[in-house]
Amino acid sequence: MVTDNTNALAPLLPDRHPQHDLFICDVADAVLKDVMQHMEHPFYSLSKKPETTVKRDENGDKWLQITPSVKGLATIYDKDILIYCISQIMAKLKEGEAVSPRVRINSRELLIFTNRGTSGREYQSLLDALDRLEGTRIRTNIVTGDEEQVDGFGLIDASSIRRKHGLDGRLLWCEVKLSDWVFNAIRNEEVLTLHRDYFRLRKPIERRVYEIARKHCGQQKTWRITLAKLLLKTGSQSPQKRFRQMIRQLAEHDHLPDYHVTFEDEADMVVFTNRGTMSPAQLVEGSIPPLQSDTYEEARHAAPGWDVRFLEREWRDWCVEPPRNADRAFIGFCRKWFEKRGRP
């Protein structure tokens, strides 16, 4: 994969900060984390123009309604702030430090972390992003952890900003309070790791397709999905003909992090193939042997009503290191899954 291309027409944006300032190395090198629920559902606008219409997404008995702010729906670029916050909280949890929904952000560190410039315009865009994140309201019955939240909430509940007086009026820092819904997902470790080149993807649709691939293909060798279903999952407003063209371009340039993309014209199918670029800590699945056939039947009894193949994918993504007995570990995972969530 190209990592040092500075051509403005290249599929990937250049790495704007290849040599990070020493005092921000810990931030710039943090492992990117994103909440699984954000990957699964189209929360964010893929349009560069403000979206002001109410969106509703239904999947079986689960539903999601998103009401934009007066400045429009939160965009997939605004989401960078949440990824930054989630990454910092996960890093603290890994070190055994106390965490809270409140995250203080140094604006320069955030801009460098997300591979943006550091001009005055970029600082202003952060203010607009915070307004959209705080103003976008969500009502859903999607379960996170052992809770089901059906009341309305924002992606962030509050933000506090400190600015410097003078001509540039730059942000010094801001503090974000994540919604309980997002924080519950983090505490229950419902997160996945993202490739650092996520921030180098130029197009909103490319970011969204990567998120979907990371959630569903995960560490499997391949994952297939019909074009029509992929379009639905992205939340894109593009006609199917235009979306098919975008997927073909994505496959032709082959620049999606972690996964090769191929398009099968006759079947109208999109195929994601694992590049094998994830770190050893992430590639646990490769060292977990196939499960015994009897294990799946036992899993069905442990988690009645759930698709055991879906649970297996979730379990393999969740594993941090290979279990001594994969079959017993998977059954235990299914039992805990059912205890937390009940029937689907």
pTM: 0.73
Strand-by-strand arrangement of the 152-154 sheet: 55-59, 62-67, 137-140, 152-154
Nearest to 32 by CA among 200, 181, 159: 200
Q: 259 has which bridge partners? A: 274
More confident residue, 30 or 148: 148
The count of other CB atoms within 10 Å of the CB of residue 327 is 17
Strands (E), the chain: 32-35, 55-59, 62-67, 102-106, 137-140, 143-144, 147-148, 152-154, 156-163, 171-178, 191-194, 222-226, 259-264, 269-274
The answer on pLDDT for 312 being more than 70 is yes
Q: What's residue 145's pLDDT?
A: 66
Q: What's residue 181's pLDDT?
A: 80
Domains and CATH numbers, the chain: 22-196 (no CATH), 203-274 (1.10.10), 283-341 (no CATH)
Over the stretch 195-213, which tens digit does the pLDDT of each residue have?
A: 889 999 999 999 999 999 9
Least confident of 55-59, 72-76, 132-136: 55-59
In contact, 73 and 18? CB cutoff 8 Å: no
In contact, 65 and 140? CB cutoff 8 Å: yes
Q: What's residue 22's pLDDT?
A: 35
The answer on pLDDT for 278 being more than 50 is yes
Q: 222 has which bridge partners? A: 273
The count of other CB atoms within 10 Å of the CB of residue 170 is 18
Over the stretch 12-55, which tens digit does the pLDDT of each residue have?
A: 888 877 755 433 334 444 456 777 777 777 889 998 889 999 98
Average pLDDT value over all residues in the chain: 81
Distance (Å, rounded) from C-alpha 157 to C-alpha 135?
A: 9
Over the stretch 60-70, which tens digit does the pLDDT of each residue have?
A: 667 778 999 98
pLDDT band of 285, cuts 50, 70, 90: very low
